[in-house]
A and B are shown apart, each in its own frame.
Chain A
Amino acid sequence: MGFREALDSGKFLITAEIGPVKGTEIDGLLEDAELIKGKVDAINVTDLQSSVMRLGSMAVCHLLKDLGIDPILQLTCRDRNRLALQSDLLSAWVLGIRNVLALTGDHPTLGDHPQAMPVFDLDSVSLLKVIGRLNEGFDMAGNQLKGAPDFFPGAVVNPGANTETALEMQIIKMEKKIEAGARFFQTQGIFDLDLFERFMKRIEGFKTTVLGGIILLKSAGMARFMNKNVAGVFVPEPLIKEMETTKDKVKTSIEMAARLIKGLKNLCQGVHIMAIGWEKRIPMVLEEAGL
Chain B
Amino acid sequence: MIVAEIKPFGEIKDMLKDYNKVLIVGCGTCVTVCLSGGERQVELLASALRMARKIEGNEITVGERTILRQCDPEFIDQIKDEAAQYDAILSMACGAGVQGIAERFGSITVLPAMNTRFIGVSDGQGTWVEVCAACGDCILYKTGGICPVARCAKSLINGPCGGSQGGLCEVSKDNPCVWQQIYARLVKLNLLHFLKEISPPKTRPVHPRRLVREDLRLKKEQTKGV
B156: which of A106, A109, A120, A231 is its contact (CB, 8 Å)? A120
Bound complex: CA of A272 vs CA of B215, how far in Å?
60
B184 contact set on A, CB distance < 8 A: 165
A163 contact set on B, CB distance < 8 A: 166-167, 180
A169 close to B (CB within 8 Å): yes
A176: which of B161, B162, B196, B201 is its contact (CB, 8 Å)? B196
Known: A104-B161, A120-B154, A158-B162. A165 touches B198 (CB 8 A): no
B165 close to A (CB within 8 Å): yes
- Pair A122/B170 contact, Cβ less than 8 Å: no
- Pair B200/A126 contact, Cβ less than 8 Å: yes
- Pair A232/B162 contact, Cβ less than 8 Å: yes
B158: which of A109, A121, A125, A157 is its contact (CB, 8 Å)? A125
B132 close to A (CB within 8 Å): no
For chain B residues 155-172, which have a beta carbon within 8 Å of chain A? 155-167, 170-172
B153 close to A (CB within 8 Å): yes
B86 close to A (CB within 8 Å): no
Chain A, residues 136-178, CB within 8 Å of chain B (1/0): the string is 0000000000000000000011100111011011101101100
Closest chain B CB from A104 CB (angstroms): 4
A107 close to B (CB within 8 Å): yes
- Pair B165/A162 contact, Cβ less than 8 Å: yes
A107 contact set on B, CB distance < 8 A: 153-154, 163, 170-171
B160: which of A120, A121, A166 is its contact (CB, 8 Å)? A166
A244 close to B (CB within 8 Å): no
Chain B, residues 136-179, CB within 8 Å of chain A (1/0): the string is 00000000000000000111111111111111001110000101
Residue of A nearest to B166 (CB): A162
A173 contact set on B, CB distance < 8 A: 158-160
Bound complex: CA of A269 vs CA of B83, how far in Å?
75
Closest chain A CB from B155 CB (angstroms): 6
B159 contact set on A, CB distance < 8 A: 125, 169, 172-173, 176
B195 contact set on A, CB distance < 8 A: 169, 172
- Pair B166/A106 contact, Cβ less than 8 Å: no
B209 close to A (CB within 8 Å): no
Closest chain B CB from A153 CB (angstroms): 15
B204 close to A (CB within 8 Å): yes
Bound complex: CA of A109 vs CA of B153, how far in Å?
10
Tell me the dominant secondary structure on chain B's binding face: loop
A242 close to B (CB within 8 Å): no
B128 contact set on A, CB distance < 8 A: none
Residue of A nearest to B196 (CB): A172
Bound complex: CA of A29 vs CA of B156, how far in Å?
33
B118 contact set on A, CB distance < 8 A: none
Known: A121-B201, A163-B167, A165-B180. A104 touches B162 (CB 8 A): yes
B75 close to A (CB within 8 Å): no
A104 contact set on B, CB distance < 8 A: 154, 156, 161-162
A180 contact set on B, CB distance < 8 A: 198
Bound complex: CA of A161 vs CA of B183, how far in Å?
14
Closest chain B CB from A268 CB (angstroms): 18
Bound complex: CA of A166 vs CA of B154, how far in Å?
17
Bound complex: CA of A156 vs CA of B204, how far in Å?
26
Bound complex: CA of A16 vs CA of B157, how far in Å?
30
- Pair A176/B158 contact, Cβ less than 8 Å: yes
Binding site for A on B (CB under 8 A): 153-167, 170-172, 177, 179-180, 183-184, 195-196, 198, 200-201, 204
Leading 9 A-B pairs by shortest Cβ distance:
A158-B162, A173-B159, A125-B158, A104-B161, A120-B154, A231-B165, A126-B201, A107-B171, A231-B163
**What are 17 pairs between A and B in contact, CB < 8 Å?**
A106-B170, A107-B153, A107-B170, A109-B171, A109-B172, A120-B156, A121-B204, A161-B162, A162-B166, A166-B164, A169-B183, A172-B196, A173-B158, A173-B159, A229-B165, A231-B164, A232-B162
Additional A-B contacts beyond A158-B162, A169-B195, A231-B164 (14; CB < 8 A): A106-B163, A109-B153, A109-B172, A118-B154, A122-B201, A123-B201, A156-B162, A161-B162, A163-B180, A166-B164, A169-B160, A170-B162, A231-B170, A232-B162
